Amino acid sequence: MKKLLCICLLFLLAACTSDNGEEKATPAASPHINKVNFFLEVSGSMAGYLNGATDFVKTIPNLLVAIEHKVDSGRLKVHEYYIADSITPFNGSTEEFISEMATRQTAKEKSSEMQNMFKMIADKTDSNDISMFVSDCILSYSDAEVKANKEINREKAEGGLKPLITSTFDKLQQKNNMCASVFGFMSDFNGTYYTYQNEKIPIKKGQVVRPYYLWVIGNRELLKQFNAQLYKLESFKPDLAINFGLFDKSITDYSIFFRYKKSGEWETDGKALTDVAVSKKQSVQVAVGLDLSALPPYAQDTSYLRQHLQLKTDNVDFTIANILLADDINKSDLKKNELDDLSNSTHLFIINIKDVYKPTAALQFSLPLQYDTSYRKLSIMDDRNVANISGKTFGFEYLVDGVRAAYQNPNQDFISIDIPIKK
């Protein structure tokens, strides 16, 4: 009897733990943020942002409070740090940090060595952390190096500092799929500005506006989650937003619209064009819907798409006759099934097929992954005249170029479409 009972228990155990002899896989838990680090640069060039009722001292404190109270349902604690030539933890609450930020003295005449600060932040960021870094992001060598060569920051920004930035983010990327976002803001400035030669220029409030930047670093999935919640905060209104490494999968899906803008003879089985009949007198036109909502805003722009789409015409002679936004389509022109396809599309590509060279072929077009370069408009390489520095940051293009170089992948596409064709 005992033996029979043991056999029954073994069968019950097997039934609970297996399916056709295999254990059922436990669904992977969604990644979650354990900690938010906040690094405030306090080298000399930051003093003018902290002096008086500037936009900076209104925006950053409100953002910190909003993150603690609203992001992840108020679950997160922000851990604050000061950073210059080293990292100094702040031992207190966020409210106490905000109070001290208004009175803390910045490091006098310390250069902003971005390459070193990013390296320190990267080393401090664990796989389940989000790290935020606020800085004016002025590329510079150390005070001693600038004193020895007044032109070193201009001469070596591209060939010396940029590669160091790339190296740091290369290593960061290899660390648990770490990615980065940069958000730019503008603030009034009341204090001393340091030129690329470390010469001092006094600036009064209202004389110029100065950019400052919030970098957010973290694991790809965590960063996506965090950024999505940042955009919902009332206090988060950046003038610049660029993501590096967040896009990881080419858009390959599409919908073929059978009636809308159709011309010529062709049929479809849903994902392929069949019975395509092209002649010298009659080309074929077909509308294809794509959901490009995962792309950054600049890559969704129809002008950008027209300029950068790459068509492969080896076996099909075709052009993109037009690119339309789904929101602009007159829905009365569509049948019910096309309305369903339209609801799942952001753009309609109107394709004109002039010739098909083989019995079976394919419509193939792609959009290479290229990062937005509008940040270069914020960069300046001679900041000695106060009239030229409003809204500009010395060497900023080489800083962001360095980050972009770490994440740029020439073999990756935003869009990769392959539509089979049969004559």
Please report whether residue 5 resides in a domain. no
- The arithmetic mean of pLDDT across residues 222-244, rounded, is 93
More confident residue, 250 or 331: 250
Mean of the per-residue pLDDT values of the chain: 89
pLDDT band at 29 (very low <50, low <70, confident <90, very high): low
Q: Residues 64, 127: one domain? A: yes
Same structural domain, 267 and 214: no
Residue 351 and residue 401 in one domain: no
What is the widest separation between alpha-carbon atoms in the chain?
97
Q: Is residue 131 part of a domain?
A: yes
The answer as to whether 23 is a domain residue is no
Residue 53 sits in the same domain as residue 93: yes
User: What's this model's pTM, rounded to 2 decimal places?
Assistant: 0.84
**Which tops the pLDDT comparison, 202 or 4?**
202
Q: What is the mean pLDDT of residues 343-358?
A: 95
195/241 same-domain check: yes
Q: Is the pLDDT of residue 130 over 90?
A: yes
Mean pLDDT in residue range 171-178: 88
pLDDT interval class at 375 (50, 70, 90):
very high
Average pLDDT over residues 389-415: 95
Domain boundary among 338, 368, 398: 368
Q: Mind spelling out the 3-state secondary structure of the chain?
A: CHHHHHHHHHHHHHHHHCECCECCCCCCCCCCCCEEEEEEECEHHHHHHHCCCCHHHHHHHHHHHHHHHHHHHHCCCEEEEEECCCEEECCCCHHHHHHHHCCCCCECCCCCCHHHHHHHHHHHCCCCEEEEEEECCCCCCCHHHHHHCCCHHHHHHHHHHHHHHHHHHHHHHCCCCEEEEEEEEEEECCEEEECCCCCEEEECCCCCEEEEEEEEEEEHHHHHHHHHHHCCCCCCCCCEEEEECCCCCCECCCEEECCCCCECEEEECCCCEEEEECCCCCCEEEEEEECCCCCCHHHHCHHHHHHHCEEECCCEEEEEEEEEEHHHCCHHHCCHHHHHHHHCCCEEEEEEEEEECCCEEEEEEEEECCCCCHHHHHEECCCCCHHHCCCCEECHHHHHHHHHHHHCCCCCEEEEEEEEEEC
Residue 118 confidence (pLDDT) above 70? yes
Mean pLDDT value of segment 403-416:
93
**Is the pLDDT score of 8 beyond 70?**
no
**Shared-domain flag, residues 195 and 320:** no
Same domain, 302 and 402: no
- Residue 343 domain-assigned? yes
What local confidence, expressed as pLDDT, does residue 9 receive? 39
Mean pLDDT of 130-141: 96
Report the C-alpha gap between 402 and 414 in whole angstroms: 21
236 in the same domain as 261: no
User: What pLDDT, on a 0 to 100 scale, did the predictor assign at position 235?
Assistant: 86
Residue 333 counted as domain residue: yes
pLDDT at res. 5: 44
Query: Residue 102's pLDDT is what?
Result: 76
Tell me the average pLDDT across 278-304: 92
* Same domain, yes or no: 319 and 335: yes
Residue 155 has pLDDT above 80, yes or no: yes
Residues 221 and 328 both lie in one domain:
no
In a domain, 6, yes or no: no
**Mean pLDDT, to the nearest integer, of 190-217?**
95
Q: Supply the range of the domain harboring residue 90.
A: 35-247+370-407
The predicted pLDDT at position 25 comes to: 52
- Residue 84 and residue 146 in one domain: yes
Q: Tell whether 356 and 220 lie within a shared domain.
A: no
Q: Is residue 144 part of a domain?
A: yes
Average pLDDT over residues 149-173: 95
Domain assignment present for 191: yes
When divided into structural domains, the chain yields a total of: 2
Whether 181 and 132 have beta carbons less than 8 Å apart is answered as: no
